[in-house]
Structure formats: structure tokens, C-alpha cells
Amino acid sequence: MSISKLLLSDVAWPDTRIEQQLCDEAGVELIIASDSSEESLSILANDCDGIITCWANITEAIIAASGKCKVVSRMGIGLDNIDVDYCTSQNIPVTNVPDYCLQEVAEHTLASVYSLGRHINTYNLNSMAGKYDREVTPPLRRLKGQTLGIIGLGNIGQRVAELANTLGFRVLGFRQDMTKTVPGVELVLFEDLISQSDFITLHLPLTDINHHMIGAEQFQNMKSTAYLVNTARGGLIDHTALATALKTGELAGAALDVQDPEPPDLNTAPYNDPRVIVTPHAAFVSVESLIELRRKSVKNALDILLHGQSDQIVNF
């Protein structure tokens, strides 16, 4: 009986000990790619039974090159780097890890809200430049009682709502299915959330439909004192429109953990604006979350290869 093979398309960590150990224990060969180009992955995928990917684009060509792919396992939540439609057409399960970083992303979101609302970034930049003066920002407002608008109320959005309620925010929400209520969240129309919120946070996957869902029209309808926080996907925001909105005073600032593209040109607007906090797609990161992510993503692939099923299949 031949040994099953899994292809690890890219390595986002200092080592692959966790992945290797789990595969060794299961009697599955792990092939680790050193190059995540489509050409290289297509060659390595040949005769592999499954693919585990973090950031690499897993295209139809790569999947088809396997000849017998039984699973594509995403090390993360979003699926925009996998050709899910092709997998579905070939009856190939796609899995993800939807719950590994809920607390981390929610904490990062609220930390961004507080950093923006308390002008911490602006104060720090001015202080480091020798301007030790609290009058360099607009007047500070008490955050308790302000309105936080959450776009996308999946696992992460709901955790943000839970924390925000504890901190005393009024919480508005918008989701695709507005019949599904969330405790402590007032569901409102998209345009009402945009116009009423003091802080707007994004927590939804990127699709063809919601690409640039926050653009010029939305910025024009925001409060001029509002802040935008994105820890989801960079393509949800039209960054050119964001730069213009900041320049014309249509909003007060933004915190961007995700960009479009990544990495962005940090010397250009909106990234070089002192009212914008930029972090390098780090909201999901903690020692604990990464261990959980790596274990669960490998387990998802092994469950399908060895047992024909997984609790985390997203396309069937």
C-alpha cells in the first residue's frame, strides 16, 4: 500500500516541526515546498493526495497537477487564495480553521479602536519628533457610550461585539442574513451603520461582491469624526478613496492590519498619513493561536485522507 502524501505549499513560521510530527505520527509523507510559484507547486503536487496552504495561491492548475487531490486545507480562515469553485467541481473538500484566533483579532480590533480614539499614534509620533504637546490632536472624547459599527457578524465579529458591550459601547451590526440576531447588537441597514457609527470595523471574507465595499460613497456618508478599522481583508476598502477621504476630512483616521496589495507601498497615501495606524497583518498572531492553527489545519487534512471526513469542510 502506497503512503499518502501531503504538500505544504508555503511556510509562514520559523520551522515545520508541528506539521512534520503530526504527519509522521499518521504515517503520511509531508512534502515541503521551498518555492510557492504556480510552476513549482504544480510539479511538487504531482501524485500528492492533498495540499495544505497558508498564503500561496492554490490554483486550478496546481490542484489538477496532483491527479488525485482529496483535500485542500487552508491554514487560516479566509479562502480567497484557493480556487474553491474548481475544488467543488471536482468533489474535493476544502477546509479552514474558523475559530483559532477569535480572541486575538477581537483584541487587536479593540486595541485599534482605543489607539485611534485616544490619539495614541498621533501623540507618540509627535512626542518622538520632539513635540511634547497634547494640543496636537482634536479634542479627546470619552469612548464609553460611543457607537461601534460592526460589518460582518461571524465568529470574530461576534467576539468583537461581546468585548465592545463589556466596555460600554453602543454596538450596531450589519450582516448578510439580517434575520440572525446577536446579543447586544442592534442590526441596522448598511447605510445607517455607515452614517451613525463613531468607529466602523470590518469582519467578513473578501468576495467579488464586496470588493471595495467601503469606497468614496461610504466615506462621504461617514461622520467626519469617525474612524475605520480593518482586520479582515485589504480588498474590502478602496484605499485610493480612503486617502482622498482623509485628505478632505471626511473621516478622522483608520487602523489597517490588512492592505491591498500586501505589503503596500508605505511611502504613499493612505499609509504615510499620521492618522493611519498600519500593522503587518498581525491581528491573528499569538504564540497560542499559531500553535492551534498549525495543528488544526494539518488535522483537517489528515482527517479527510485517513477517515474521509472533517468537521471543517466549507464547500459541501
Catalytic residue numbers read 233, 262, 281
Residue type at 168? G
Report which of 101, 229, 209 is spatially closest to residue 169, judged by C-alpha positions: 229
Sequence-ordered alpha helix ranges (H) in 92-143: 102-117, 120-128
CA Rg value for the chain: 21
Q: Phi and psi at residue 221, in whole multiples of 5°?
A: -95, -5
Contact in structure between 201 and 231 (CB atoms under 8 Å): yes
Q: What whole-number distance in Å separates Cα of residue 252 and Cα of residue 198?
A: 10
Asked if 267 and 278 touch (Cβ cutoff 8 Å), the reply is no
> What is the spatial distance between Cα 245 and Cα 127, in angstroms, rounded to a whole number?
26
Residue count (the chain) = 316
Strands 71-74 and 186-187: unpaired
Cell matching residue 290: 499559531
What letters, b where the CB count within 10 A reaches 16 and e where it falls short, cover 261-281?
eeebeeeeebbebebbbbbeb
Instruction: Please enumerate in sequence order all residues whose Cβ is within 8 A of that of 123, keeping only pairs 6 or more positions apart, or say none.
Output: 134, 136, 137
Nearest residue to 193 via CA among 216, 170, 211, 160: 170
Q: What are 4's three cell numbers?
A: 499518502
